[in-house]
Chain A
Amino acid sequence: MNLSKSARWGLTAITGIVLVFIYFPLLVVLINSFNASKVFSWPPTSWTTQWWSKAATNEGVRSALLTSVKAGIGATLIAIVLGSMVAFAVARYDFFGRDSISFLVILPIALPGIITGIALNASFSTVLVPLGISFGLFTVILGHATFCIVVVFNNVVARLRRTGSSLEEAAMDLGAGPFQTFRDVTFPAVRSALVAGALLAFALSFDEIVVTSFTAGPGVETLPQWIFNNLFRPNQGPIINAVAAALLIAFIAPVYLAMRMSDGPSRVVQVGAEP
């Protein structure tokens, strides 16, 4: 598009400023994780790697990390199955109420997390607890899966719409049944979208704190909860900073990969990562 030179310059400058605005605070966290000071101080005057090693050996951090990984894997597996089932139904069939179903899938993430959290808390304590199922990791997984479904759904439904159904029809015309068509034609076409959805669902679950705090039982602490619970305790600052810096680095590769594998980055986050 033709723009005047000054307009082009102005826009590039604003874009640069906004990018600095986005990344500067994260960079501060990274730099400050090597700050030798025991209390928060900026700018750093001396350097150390001891907070990283202390964070890596911290009992609370390790058990919280394990809990988060378990919850993430559980929620992601459920989301893969349910999300792709709805995606197939919505993309390949025309039926009454189809739009309502798309809406229903998006709802758990369109409503604030606190609403989903409190609703699940209310229903678990009135239905599950009397049945003898108490709040714990299981209820966290139930909660996380509810809002992870949409991420898998979004990725798979976009891929199914893009690829169309002509290849599947061709396979069936040539005599393949539904199972064989799925195995040899449909699944290979959606595989990378499914992987992208799964990675993002895991990332979403791993980062979640609001629904978690309403559905976790006593003794169940995910990594975000550990950070939050320690944020207001004295002397924990440097370790939190190191954990935060580690999370920043750990997230880059899988999320970048997920974006490359899905149908364009804007698609991935149309319904993005609500905390």
Chain B
Amino acid sequence: MSALATEPMTSPPSGGSSSGSAFLYRHPRLRLTGLLTAPMLWLGVLYLGSLAIMLVAAFWSTDEFTGQLIKQPTLKNFHTLLTGQVYWVVALRTLGIAVAVTVIDMILAVPIAFTAAKVVKSRGLRYALVIAVTMPLWAGYLVKGYAMETMFINNGVIDWMLAPLGLKGPGLGIPATIFSLAYLWLPYMILPIYAGLERLPDSLIEASSDLGASAGKTFRGVILPMIVPSLIAGSIFTFSLTLGDYIMVKIVGGTTQMFANIIYDNVGVANNLPLAAAAAVFPITVIVIYLLAVRRSGALDNL
């Protein structure tokens, strides 16, 4: 802990303040310690400590008969996961779903973010549009899950809408899962792109079109490169949230399993915390690798 940036260059307070106040005034580091102690106990000890215990637990095992934890280090869990074909299938399927969700959200988010940031002229309307895409974030995960079920279920709303065309919806399964997750995470993609576009000066876009570039060329050559950090920031959310989701797939996925279901079922039904902890290493690794890979892009400042 070192120097302070924003210290006023004055003498200590005199009249009217208590001695404790004056003491604190003269000891900024003590103030800083006072501010940080409790939060660091919570996040540094409780939270990081919990993550550490989970990683240690990945090397434990359970007694097959009693279900008791055996706290002796073993690589058994990782061996089980790496040699089980089903785990690879589910892991690859989950990655595929995460990529699909991310791409769909990018395609939907860019036009609406662009409209909000650059097309709408009135400030009030722009604000209303941003609120309109943000509000559903807080509408409740399960409310939206239930809404998606009513859309995709057999004889549900999608079947009803397609019936006049003689078509039927995809029903419950992987497509419904992809669509529902894209629906859930869309605001996480729109908002960083909106923020990125808001920072992009109009003059750059105008200069490009003044110099004769078509709208498509301006988009590819000027706008897209400038919002790459925003796209990456959004994709961190869509990717991370998809890797951790096991509920939506239960509601709209039919019998489909995602990777988080493996983790969840091992804590709950199978009562095998060590195997679940070992399985949790997979999404953590994917996300950490992703974060490290995109660190240089400046995307993390957009989070």
Contacts and interface: CB of A to CB of B under 8 A. Distances in A.
Interface of A: 1-4, 7-8, 11-12, 14-15, 18-19, 21-23, 25-26, 28-29, 32, 40-43, 78, 81-83, 85-86, 88-89, 92-97, 101, 104-108, 110-116, 118-127, 142, 145-146, 149, 165, 168-169, 172-173, 175-180, 200, 203, 207, 209-210, 214, 224, 227-228, 231, 240-241, 244, 247-248, 251-252, 255-256, 259, 265-266, 268-275
Interface of B: 1-6, 8, 10, 13-18, 20-22, 24-25, 28, 31-32, 35-36, 38-40, 42-44, 46-51, 53-54, 57, 69, 108, 111-112, 114-116, 118-119, 127, 129-151, 153, 155-157, 160, 183-184, 186-188, 191-192, 194-195, 198, 202, 205-206, 209, 215, 236-237, 240-241, 243-247, 251, 260, 263-264, 267, 273, 276-277, 280, 283-284, 287, 302-303
Given A228-B247, A255-B135, A256-B131, A93 B5 contact: yes
Nearest to B22: A177
Given A1-B206, A248-B139, A119 B10 contact: no
Given A28-B151, A231-B146, A123 B53 contact: yes
B140 A146 contact: no
B31 to A, nearest CB: 7
A22 B132 CA distance: 9
A19 B3 CA distance: 49
Given A4-B215, A115-B51, 12 more contacts: A1-B119, A40-B155, A41-B155, A89-B35, A93-B5, A115-B280, A116-B47, A123-B46, A126-B69, A149-B43, A175-B13, A207-B138
A241 B140 CA distance: 13
Contacts of A179: 17-18, 20-21, 24
A119 B1 contact: no
A97 B33 CA distance: 13
A272 B137 contact: yes
Nearest to B210: A2
A247 B140 contact: yes
Contacts of B49: 123
A240 B151 CA distance: 15
B50 A244 contact: no
A125 B62 CA distance: 14
A126 B53 contact: yes
A253 to B, nearest CB: 11
B35 A88 contact: yes
A11 B119 contact: yes
Main secondary structure on A side of the interface with B: helix
29 contacts: A3-B215, A15-B111, A15-B112, A21-B108, A82-B38, A85-B38, A85-B39, A86-B36, A86-B39, A89-B32, A89-B36, A93-B32, A95-B32, A104-B43, A112-B240, A114-B280, A114-B283, A116-B47, A119-B54, A122-B273, A126-B53, A146-B47, A177-B22, A180-B17, A247-B139, A266-B130, A270-B302, A270-B303, A275-B247
Contact of A25 (B42, B138, B183, B205): B183
Contact of B57 (A96, A122, A178, A244): A122
Question: Shortest 4 CB-CB distances between A and B: which pairs?
Answer: A112-B244, A177-B17, A177-B21, A275-B141
A227 B244 contact: no
Nearest to A30: B147
Contacts of A21: 108, 183
Contacts of A175: 13-17
A255 B118 CA distance: 25
Nearest to A105: B43
B98 to A, nearest CB: 11
Nearest to B159: A42
A244 B118 contact: no
A14 B6 contact: no
Nearest to A8: B119
Contact of B114 (A11, A19, A85, A177): A11
Given A104-B44, A177-B21, A231-B251, A42 B156 contact: yes
A270 B32 contact: no
Contacts of A14: 111-112, 115
A28 B147 contact: yes
Nearest to B33: A89
Given A11-B115, A41-B155, A94-B5, A112 B188 contact: no
Nearest to B129: A15
B131 A270 contact: no
Nearest to A4: B215
A43 B205 CA distance: 47
Given A1-B118, A244-B146, A82 B244 contact: no
Given A88-B35, A119-B50, A248-B143, A112 B160 contact: no
B47 to A, nearest CB: 5
Contact of A227 (B139, B142, B194): B142
Given A11-B119, A111-B284, A126-B57, A248 B236 contact: no
